[in-house]
Structure 1
Amino acid sequence: MLTKRDDSTSECALPVARCVGLICVATAAGALLTGCGRADDNAAGATAVQAAELAPMSPSASAPTSASASMSMSMPPSASASGGNLARDQAERKALLEKVKVGYGDALSAAVAKVSASKLVSIELKGGSKGPRWEAEVATADGTAHTVRVDAVTGKADQAQAETEQDNDDRAKLADRLKKATVTAQQAAQTATDKTKGTVTALELQGTHGGTPEWSVDVVTNGDWKKTTFGIDAVNRKITREHVDQD
């Protein structure tokens, strides 16, 4: 006996399989298109980034500003303050002299007033933690020397201190030097500043090999703060030497 075959399952199965296949193909195609779209977007983004990197920076960009700030910070303080670079010695002289209120002349008078009948042997402006001061050496006619410190701001002079390291020979030589020197410290300073305008920062009566005493005078010029040292004959007041310290 023959049994009738039910083909409904087969007939339905085939279309379903075909539908599933078509859906898969469509999905794959969609994914491909989406992938292509993303690739295009990525390519476009990369192109935009490259264009931005290659484009010239605008004037308002931050890089030049940062560079300018860096250059400004690297400039030496002395260059911005004075319009030019100063050597260390020049900067120190400038800083010291800007604090001084009492010049060498007043300091000299205050120093010799501390020792009766004395004359100036040397005076020099110095700095320190307590402020600027004049360190002076004065001596009597017999060559006995004393040191006196004078405040370069107030003009107050400390008590004179006798020189403890002098022997008889030292006193005799100093007495002879003072006797021969007919040019005063003030006259020597005037001769030096007539040649170079500036501030006297040191004076010293020195001996020479020829036996004629000589004044050594330091003058600092304002503006460049260089020091010029003069040799002034202590008898005829002539300039014997002149040296400019370039530092």
Structure 2
Amino acid sequence: MAVICALGSSVLLLTACANADTARSSVAEAAQTESPTGSPTGSPTSTASPPLTEDQAERKALIPMAKVTWDKAADTAVKEVPEGKLVDLELKRVSDEATASPGTPSPNTPAPAPSEGAAEWEAKVAAEDGTVHRIDVDAVTGEVFRTQIEPDQDADDKRELADQLREATQTPHQAVKVATDKTKGTVTSVELDENDDQKLLWSVDVVSTDDWNKTTVDVDAKNGKILREHVDRD
């Protein structure tokens, strides 16, 4: 009986030891497969990019459609007006108004209009006396498909604009270089404007194709210095 009891005790002891070893092994394996924060190692969690806003999504869709750069479109538009100077240029989608029959005053359609929703450069070019002409340039082919004198321009408006263009010693090309040296990206708009302090400036929009944010850089139209820089993350 003593022998039998001794054997039984040994078996129980061995079983308990084996169970303890198994438990320790499981704990060790779990520790090796978990990071200090409790997440498994070897499978890093990826951070999803935030969704694009409506404006960012529109820039992402529109900009790749344009095969003609801003400077080519500007040069094309200016050639349509004798002694013309660029006042405004913007990359946008062709509206139903642009594809409709020409309106007044002095409309001209030298080439067929692109389909509605296609990319175009809409330019405003001033003649020497300040009369503004709207020039629509196909952003894919580079062809002018509509020209028209802007309506409702009185003598005072024309004279004021002509004076501003004479004061703007910095060209739009020079202003864009200043802006893009500061902020890398695709130029989508250039406009002659005045700020709240009545400073004459070129407002240049530059879009980053990394995050599709738009940065507006205001460049002094007389000395080429940056007056303001604003990032639109909407």
Asked if Structure 1 and Structure 2 have the same fold, meaning a TM-score greater than 0.5 normalized by the shorter chain, the answer is yes
The equivalent residue for 2:62 is: 96
The equivalent residue for 2:150 is: 163
The equivalent residue for 2:211 is: 224
Q: Are the aligned partners of 1:231 and 1:241 in contact in 2 as well (CA < 8 Å)?
A: yes
The equivalent residue for 2:91 is: 125
- Identify the structure with bigger relative contact order (alpha carbons < 8 Å, sequence gap 6+): 2
Give the TM-score taking structure 2 as reference length: 0.68
Query: Higher strand proportion, which one?
Result: 2
Q: 1:1-247 maps to which residues of 2 (within 5 A)?
A: 84-128=50-94, 129-208=116-195, 210-247=197-234
Structure 2's unaligned 5+ residue stretches are: 1-47, 95-115
Give the TM-score taking structure 1 as reference length: 0.64
SS in 2 for 1:223: coil
Q: What is the aligned residue count?
A: 166
Query: Higher helix proportion, which one?
Result: 1
The change in CA–CA distance for 1:112 and 1:214 in structure 2 (over 3 A counts) is same
Q: Distance in 1 between the 2:175 and 2:118 partners?
A: 27
Could you tell me how far 1:226 is from its partner in structure 2?
0.3
SS in 2 for 1:154: coil
Could you tell me how far 1:141 is from its partner in structure 2?
1.9
Identity %: 52
Could you tell me how far 1:246 is from its partner in structure 2?
1.0
* Bigger Rg, which one: 1
Q: Are the aligned partners of 1:150 and 1:157 in contact in 2 as well (CA < 8 Å)?
A: yes
Q: Are the aligned partners of 2:137 and 2:146 in contact in 1 as well (CA < 8 Å)?
A: no
Could you tell me how far 1:88 is from its partner in structure 2?
1.4
Structure 1's unaligned 5+ residue stretches are: 1-78
1:125-161 CA-partner distances (Å, limit 9, x unpaired)? 0014340000000002211110000000110013421
> What is the RMSD of the two structures over their aligned residues, measured on CA atoms?
1.4
Could you tell me how far 1:212 is from its partner in structure 2?
3.7
1:164-196 CA-partner distances (Å, limit 9, x unpaired)? 210011001101110100000011111111001
The change in CA–CA distance for 1:161 and 1:223 in structure 2 (over 3 A counts) is same
Q: Are the aligned partners of 1:217 and 1:231 in contact in 2 as well (CA < 8 Å)?
A: yes
